[in-house]
Amino acid sequence: MKLTILGCYAATPRTFTNPTSQVLQIRNHLFLIDCGEGTQVELRRNKVKFSKIKHIFISHLHGDHFFGLVGLISTFRLLNRENELHVYGPKGIKEAITLQLKLANSWTNYPLYFHELDSKEPQLLFEDEKVSVETIPLKHRIYANGFLFKEKPGERKLNMSAVLKRKIDVVYYKKLKRGMDMTLEDGTVIPNEELTFDPKPPRSYAFCSDTIYKPDNLPQLQGVTVLYHESTFLEAHAKLALPTGHSTAIEAGKMARDAGAQYLILGHYSTRYPDLTLFANEAKTVFDNVLTADDGKVFDFDED
């Protein structure tokens, strides 16, 4: 599980900061989350292969989270893309994108599917044998969702010394990995636990931006491996958070603490602040494992 931050600042792009966009690599999937202005440039800068992006998740229809989408879709066309592209986002995203393609007479030469969202309850968006993706209902100035990416339990690992000692034929290895007990020719049953090791615990990643402090999401987030939570403001400007539909660094820390998260990644910073350590220091007053996103930063959780 690897997260690449393409942009993590609020409002408008600057020459040295970018609005929200990130890439999550998990179980052989490459998911693009939000697509602020300049995303395709940052994809190139970070050497992310365009062809591997098959699913794009848009949290809400404020420009700093999706103004880069039509450009990326158009670039895929120029690159003669053939693979399907699925875009998940609030109701209206199809109209916003297809109108621009229509006026430019630039329809895609690959299958483009929009999955429009309007539910205020968690909703399953994607699922295969390795991973699932569901919405996290947020509360912002307009309809918004976060996204929860969850690995499914992997196969068990063979205890080769035990397997070889019992002289178990290789044809049974796959079944053992799937949890099957082994029955020998004499009728003896060997419990699977004696022949295999537990797989690594499945990991999860929750993306929560933009939103006010919303503790009613905690049941859905319980035990999450990594929580990315917006921290637009510091406590000195906490009075601005609720009216603008945002959170403070301390509120992000409380969400991570109360969800039992292993890690908290802060992002969506207001550009009024010159030093990101200020955000981390405040969040650490309530939660220990705080990381700060920054453009171009990569978090590799396979190293844990």
Closest C-alpha among 117, 118, 99 to residue 107: 99
CA distance linking residue 268 with residue 157, whole number of Å: 40
Three-class DSSP category at 70: helix
* Furthest-apart CA atoms within the chain: distance in Å: 74
Catalytic annotation present for 128: no
- Enumerate long-range contacts of 35-38, CB under 8 Å, 24 or more apart: 35/65, 35/66, 35/67, 35/68, 35/69, 35/72, 36/7, 36/63, 36/64, 36/65, 36/66, 36/67, 36/68, 37/13, 37/63, 37/64, 37/67, 37/68, 38/7, 38/13, 38/68
Candidate list 34, 64, 210, 295, residue with the active-site label? 64
* Alpha helix stretches (DSSP H) within the chain: 39-45, 63-66, 69-78, 93-103, 160-165, 173-177, 218-221, 241-244, 249-259, 277-283
Report the relative pairing of strands 196-197 and 112-117 from DSSP bridges: unpaired
For the annotated catalytic residues, the residue numbers are 64
